[in-house]
Amino acid sequence: MINPDYPLTDLHRHLDGNIRISTIWQLAEEFSIPLEQKNLQELVDATQIKVKTTDLLAFLQKMELGVSVLASEQACYRVAYENVEDAKRAGLVYTELRFSPVFMAKAHNLPLEQVVDAVIAGCKAGSRTFGIEVNLIGILSRSFGEQSCFQELHALLRAKNDIVALDLAGDEKGFPAIRFEEHFKLARDAGWSITVHAGEADGPESIHQAIHLLGATRIGHGVAARDDLQLMDFMANNDISIECCLTSNFQTGACTDIAQHPIKTFIENGIVVTLNTDDPGVSAIEIADEYKLAREVVGLSSSQLEQIQMNGIDVAFMTPSIKAKLLDLYP
Ligand SMILES: [Zn+2]
């Protein structure tokens, strides 16, 4: 369970995987976009995952309906702003929201730069209104290939001071990290931190590539690390942490039984882990659900969960001054 005496963060949270059902409905009306769904309940059923999907690609398919109504810059701004409000409501003191401009822009061919600017403006406004620290992570959607990722990267780099890190997401098996070395070199040269989705839909080799070829210091999901003792040692000794997302890992099939989730193994092997939601809207969860699962289903102890809460501050991509400010709230 969450201990209110410790800071609560969510470092792996896709804002384009957390679009409110009511917002999808209203934006569809506003832009006269026909939806197959006849009412809100049908929209809930089409957007949220109730139990699990067959694999990662089927999971990602669930995010399509949300971005299908992003027909203007204002729509992107709204989604970003509401994400900050949702994060505040969930009790987070700090969150890193990630987004793929290409994924958000594609249904209505919005200029990528407009999407980036709108998301940044929406997050800044939300952060001011709701009093929560937010940083943004840009995503390259690997499923669209290297060229598309270069365009996506350049749109993100235009706003490099408003973004703290770069991530690679999408079809991990079909588009291995090795194809994106050049992109991530440019990102590191720009001073960004690196986190990469790896070991979610592919094996330990994918995590090796994320670390050694792309320069990741955090790994999204990393489930496959459990099969590679040397890799776990390396991660523990080199401060490479894992962003664990229990529900998402079950729903994508990365982990067939939450009780057997490797988060416990990671901790036992000295790897720093955090608990995160991934796509709260699609998964129909919030951060509290993940702490509850970690306690009641995985069997982590209260002190392990408190340590995880502290890890969220330790491995966050935040400036030392924000870190000090947040830690001041928890004497
Ligand atoms: Zn993710």
Q: What is the pLDDT of residues 162-192, one digit of tens each?
A: 999 999 999 999 999 999 999 999 999 999 9
Predicted pLDDT of residue 54: 82
Q: Is the pLDDT of residue 194 over 80?
A: yes
Domains and CATH numbers, the chain: 9-319 (3.20.20.140)
Q: Is the pLDDT of residue 140 over 80?
A: yes
- CA 99 / ligand 1 centre spacing (Å): 10
Region 251-272: what's the mean pLDDT?
Answer: 96
Predicted pLDDT of residue 224: 98
Q: What is the amino acid identity at position 241?
A: S
- CA 110 / ligand 1 centre spacing (Å): 23
* Cα–Cα distance measured from residue 254 to residue 213, given in angstroms and rounded to the nearest whole number: 23
Angle, vertex CA 324, rays to CA 319 and CA 328, nearest 5: 150
DSSP 182: H
Q: How confident is the model at residue 55 (pLDDT cuts 50, 70, 90)?
A: confident
> Which has the closest alpha carbon to 166: 142, 146, 136?
136
- CA 254 / ligand 1 centre spacing (Å): 12
Catalytic annotation, residues? 200
Distance spanning both ends of the chain, measured CA to CA: 20
Predicted pLDDT of residue 111: 98
Burial of 29 (0-12, 13-18, 19+ CB in 10 A): exposed
Helix (H, G, I), strand (E, B) or coil at 16: helix
Mean pLDDT of the chain: 96
- CA 142 / ligand 1 centre spacing (Å): 13
- CA 279 / ligand 1 centre spacing (Å): 7
- CA 331 / ligand 1 centre spacing (Å): 32
* Cα–Cα distance measured from residue 294 to residue 242, given in angstroms and rounded to the nearest whole number: 15
Neighbours of 1 (CB within 10 A): 11
Q: How confident is the model at residue 51 (pLDDT cuts 50, 70, 90)?
A: confident
Region 61-76: what's the mean pLDDT?
Answer: 95
Q: How confident is the model at residue 74 (pLDDT cuts 50, 70, 90)?
A: very high
Q: Is the pLDDT of residue 331 over 80?
A: no
Predicted pLDDT of residue 59: 87
Give me 207's structure tokens.
């995590």
Report the sign of the C-alpha dihedral through residues 18, 21, 23, 24, in that order: positive
Q: Is the pLDDT of residue 125 over 90?
A: yes
Predicted pLDDT of residue 141: 98
Percent of the chain with pLDDT over 70: 100
Instruction: Sort residue 15 into left (φ over 0), alpha (ψ -120 to 50) or beta.
Output: alpha
Tell me the Cα Rg of the chain.
18
